[in-house]
Chain A
Amino acid sequence: MDLIMEATTVEKYTFKDFASDQEVRWCPGCDDYVILRSMQKALPEMGLRREDVVFISGIGCSSRFPYYMETYGMHSIHGRATAIASGVKLANPKLSVWVVTGDGDSMAIGGNHFIHVLRRNINLNILLFNNEIYGLTKGQFSPTSLVGQKTKSSPYGNTQPPFSPGELAIGAQARFFARIGGNTPKEMTELFVEAEKFKGTSLIEILQNCVIFNDNCFSKYTDKDIREDKQLFVEHGKPMIFGKNKDKGLVLNRLKLEVVTLGENGITEADILVHDAKEQDPALHLMLVRLDYPLVTGIIRSFDDVTLEEREKELTAKVKAGSNFTKTDDLFFSGETYEIK
């Protein structure tokens, strides 16, 4: 709220204002460059003061991110970025706080903090760089690696079934979940702006290609020439239609989503499901998250709810109003005291 009120006094920034003097050191061709640039472009659109922006990361390739942002930042320890960011936000709710994390950082070692931050609905934005592999430690399977995937730590194929980040997040009561391919900067920039606007924990899963250890892991959804046929980019209030020719759509057949072709069997646009991201009941959002064809991108869920900071603020005001204590001396001398003369 306070940020919006002060928006009129905010300087006009360009993406350069958000680039630090540090040399970017990801592997050539990594999607992380795309994400970094998209963020630097999105920030001037958000109407924030630069000094109010904080990036907190854990450990992993993605977690280098804060060093490259000319904002406040902390590159912390493995898995704990969400917990540290929670402390930053609760200490000063006026800040715009971003968590940068990966599939190992947030789903394995940081799994506990990840689910609890979502449950609490603290107004943070979490960028989850999912590349289905441990990159920084050079190629072990992660909690999102596929069964059978050969990695340095699964030479005969991975035997551990993966998490679906969206499914886990919605199960942990995520109010905002979006997914985006790592090679679509324009849509990504827009999603970042939407995530900041959303009041509550926003989680964006970015399908991030690791050119070294898991190259082309998302190619079947994200390659330029096929992505329009393989991805459904959902928008709230719009029918869920996809395909190069905009001729495919989703309908609900009993308890399952089904792909239909417009114009076939009498199907018209009116038969296609209209996306309702704001629905509280997550049933349909979970189905969208789980869908393999088409892979659903865009804002899948965006349900407005009270944040933890709001609850705390309200409760604190109520306690303050009902209390005679204004300073600690009032407390120390209250109740059972006695005098020694």
Chain B
Amino acid sequence: MLSSFLIIFQLMKTNKELLQPEVLEAVVIRFVGDSGDGMQLTGTQFSDTSAMFGNDVATFPNYPAEIRAPQGSLYGVSGFQVHIGSVEISTPGDQVDLLVAMNPAGLKTNLYAVKPGHTIIVDTDAFNKKNLEKSQYETNPLEDDSLNNYRVIEVAMTSLTKEALKDVEGLDNRMINRSKNMFALGMVYWMYNRSIAHTIDFFNKKFKNTPNLIQSNTKVLNAGFYFAETLELIPNAYTISPAKMRPGKYRIIMGNMATAWGFLAAAEKSGLELFLGSYPITPATDILHELVKHKHFGVKAFQAEDEIAGITSAIGASFAGDLAITTTSGPGLALKGEAIGLAVMTELPLVIVNVQRGGPSTGLPTKTEQSDLLQAMYGRNGESPVIVIAASTPANCFNFAYEAARLALEHMTPVILLTDGYIANGSAPWKIRTVDEMPEIRNNKILTPTENWYPYNRDEITLARNWAIPGTKDLEHRIGGLEKDKVTGNVSYVPENHEYMTHIRAEKIRRVQYNIPELKTEFAEKGDLLVVGWGGTYGTLHTATKQLSEEGYKNIGFAHFNYINPLPKNTEEVLKRFKKIVVCELNSGQFSKILKINFDGLDIAQFNKIQGLPFSNDELIQQFKQWI
């Protein structure tokens, strides 16, 4: 069989008569295999190449929870999904047009996602007795009728890789085996009419000290590419034209990295040093991983002994004049609650990033959810309002991390920034922002005492107290968790003072509405149905509403919230322009509660999903159609 492929390969190599590629608007591809098969790298290379070609892209990884799961097992499958298009791409996509399965376990766990009639590429070498048993197949799916509804392309990738590398010296079996993902990538490059040049550049950089790896990977990538070209089983190639994107320099960025970079930019713009106090927790840890790299910018990233020390060290750093942040996920936010209260009482600037995951308790650490919203709003003792904002795409994690820092510094308050596992691990093109382009960041530092200076002297407009930093002469003062006298900042148990200070703390947050943008709607300014979302569901909700709008439903609008406490000042006015509102959330209705508390007379319906998964386009379309 192998030799016959090679014969065809040799024959067809000279026959360059290619079919004209079919043009597609968008395509979703999923690469799956064993943890060691290099699926993340394969997917990343494909999405980077497509982005450089000019496509809009969105990706999402799916790693096994086990660090080193047994080879070939169902729970050891690692996947990477890429959605590319000549049109705007807002999500990594639901169902896939092409599944590349490097082993039976990958096929078994991912077949559900393949659109009927669409393509599956498998490495037939991996469909041996041992792997079939491990993936609990009773019969070989390639030999029974179970895949009749799909176009299956069977390729002996492992053997072909070995064959391609037979003349390369200095490679052991393991190295040869590990490069078969490049064979798959080569095939997919040909199928979608992509150049292999970017990936070859990548090899040259990555393996610059091991030339035989450059040679071997290049050979295998080429072999896959030409194999696809010559193979009769792939009748035609597809192409996806460049998308209309704003001109400029781009890079592909993951949400967590964008968050980290937003803080770097905010520190530089504000002229402050960045301090991170953090404790590892999935799925927030990548922010810590990223910030520890940047000592060259003077970043002080402190891995603390627990979540509480993560935030309290940051509070100490804030007291000492740094731009202080702490990063965590749901259970960690619960542990930080008391300390957030201290930052509320001491009125110190602080950003708390919560990359949400499924809860309660340990819940679903690797799955996404939006169920920490009310914890962020109210999860502290006493009345302790904070600013709550939420990023909504992998790329705008940059903007909202920056915005969280800006608001904390300008208003002298803790800010909770909510992201989630879906956007934190997803990646998309980011139009690079220079620090010059970013908005100014003021802070409330005071350098010399004014007459009658007290630590709780406030800005008349924002009510932010001034920020006197240790080391500044004649501004020595004490702050703390006990209630403060409204004038002197000394400890006060006076009943009226406590009530006054409680109102001041609330009013200070309320006034933030004058320092944030107004709410805008997409697709319709008024009408019958307003789709409302917040945070990481932007991509899915935007895509579904857009589809309906394009189908001719002109009375459906979409409003997405990034600012939750306080809400944009025109919120009520916008919501009242629509007859009905549907609030879509990955929880059982937390944001809709907030809207109901704030505004009377709205007809609010809910669409909720609590499965650890994002919304799918189909379920959204189906729901929205019920209401229009």
Q: Which residues of A contact B (CB under 8 A)?
A: 20, 22, 49-52, 54, 56, 59, 66-67, 69-77, 80, 83-92, 94-95, 112-113, 116, 312, 315-316, 319-320, 323, 325-329, 331-333, 335-341
B191 at the interface (CB under 8 A from A): no
- In angstroms, Cα B302 to Cα A116, docked, is 13
| Contact call A86/B316, Cβ cutoff below 8 A | yes
Residues of A near B475 (CB, < 8 A) are 51
Q: Mark B467-495, 1 if CB is under 8 A from A, else 0.
A: 00011111111111110000000110000
| Contact call B312/A337, Cβ cutoff below 8 A | no
B63 at the interface (CB under 8 A from A): no
Chain A's closest residue to B323 (CB) is A91
Q: Mark B450-481, 1 if CB is under 8 A from A, else 0.
A: 00000000000000000000111111111111
B584 at the interface (CB under 8 A from A): no
Q: Which residues of B contact A (CB under 8 A)?
A: 48, 51-52, 54, 242, 245-252, 261, 264-265, 268, 273, 275, 277, 294-298, 300, 302, 304-306, 308-309, 312-322, 324, 338-339, 341-342, 346, 432-435, 470-482, 490-491
Given known A-B contacts A87-B302, A319-B296, A338-B249, A74 and B320 have beta carbons under 8 A apart: no
| Contact call A51/B470, Cβ cutoff below 8 A | yes
- In angstroms, Cα B174 to Cα A183, docked, is 72
- In angstroms, Cα B481 to Cα A66, docked, is 12
Chain A's closest residue to B341 (CB) is A77
Chain B's closest residue to A87 (CB) is B316
Residues of B near A86 (CB, < 8 A) are 302, 309, 313, 316
| Contact call A76/B342, Cβ cutoff below 8 A | yes
Residues of B near A73 (CB, < 8 A) are 477-480
Given known A-B contacts A77-B339, A312-B300, A91 and B264 have beta carbons under 8 A apart: no
Q: Shortest CB–CB separation between residue A10 and chain B, in angstroms?
A: 11
Residues of A near B313 (CB, < 8 A) are 83-84, 86-87, 90
- In angstroms, Cα B245 to Cα A340, docked, is 7
User: Which residue in B54, B268, B319 is a CB contact (below 8 Å) of A327?
Assistant: B268
User: Which residue in B261, B296, B342, B491 is a CB contact (below 8 Å) of A325?
Assistant: B296
A-B contact pairs, 7 of them (CB 8 A): A69-B478, A76-B342, A87-B275, A88-B320, A325-B296, A336-B251, A337-B432
Residues of B near A340 (CB, < 8 A) are 54, 242, 245-248, 250
User: Which residue in A95, A323, A336, A339 is a CB contact (below 8 Å) of B48?
Assistant: A336
Chain B's closest residue to A21 (CB) is B490
Q: Shortest CB–CB separation between residue A231 and chain B, in angstroms?
A: 34
User: Which residue in A67, A75, A87, A325 is a CB contact (below 8 Å) of B320?
Assistant: A87
| Contact call B273/A91, Cβ cutoff below 8 A | yes
Shortest beta-carbon contacts, A-B, top 8: A87-B316, A75-B480, A87-B313, A323-B296, A91-B320, A91-B317, A84-B316, A83-B309
Q: Shortest CB–CB separation between residue A14 and chain B, in angstroms?
A: 16
Chain A's closest residue to B338 (CB) is A77
| Contact call B275/A320, Cβ cutoff below 8 A | no
| Contact call B251/A91, Cβ cutoff below 8 A | no
Given known A-B contacts A85-B316, A339-B249, A72 and B306 have beta carbons under 8 A apart: no
| Contact call B471/A116, Cβ cutoff below 8 A | no
User: Which residue in B248, B308, B321, B324 is a CB contact (below 8 Å) of A83?
Assistant: B308
Chain B interface, >50% SS class: mixed
| Contact call B434/A329, Cβ cutoff below 8 A | yes
Residues of B near A95 (CB, < 8 A) are 320, 470-471
Residues of B near A316 (CB, < 8 A) are 295, 298
Chain A's closest residue to B268 (CB) is A328
Chain A's closest residue to B472 (CB) is A51
| Contact call B247/A341, Cβ cutoff below 8 A | yes
Q: Shortest CB–CB separation between residue A177 and chain B, in angstroms?
A: 20
Known: A75-B480, A87-B324, A91-B324. 12 other contacts (CB 8 A): A54-B470, A77-B312, A80-B312, A83-B312, A88-B317, A91-B275, A92-B470, A325-B296, A328-B261, A328-B265, A337-B432, A340-B250
- In angstroms, Cα B440 to Cα A192, docked, is 45
Q: Shortest CB–CB separation between residue A264 and chain B, in angstroms?
A: 50
- In angstroms, Cα B419 to Cα A32, docked, is 47
Q: Shortest CB–CB separation between residue B295 and chain A, in angstroms?
A: 4
| Contact call A84/B300, Cβ cutoff below 8 A | no
User: Which residue in B273, B296, B308, B476 is a CB contact (below 8 Å) of A70?
Assistant: B476
Chain B's closest residue to A308 (CB) is B302
Q: Shortest CB–CB separation between residue A339 and chain B, in angstroms?
A: 6
Given known A-B contacts A74-B478, A87-B320, A328-B268, A336 and B252 have beta carbons under 8 A apart: yes
Residues of B near A67 (CB, < 8 A) are 478, 480, 490-491
Residues of A near B247 (CB, < 8 A) are 339-341
- In angstroms, Cα B264 to Cα A92, docked, is 19
Q: Shortest CB–CB separation between residue B333 and chain A, in angstroms?
A: 16
Residues of B near A77 (CB, < 8 A) are 312, 338-339, 341-342, 481
- In angstroms, Cα B482 to Cα A74, docked, is 10
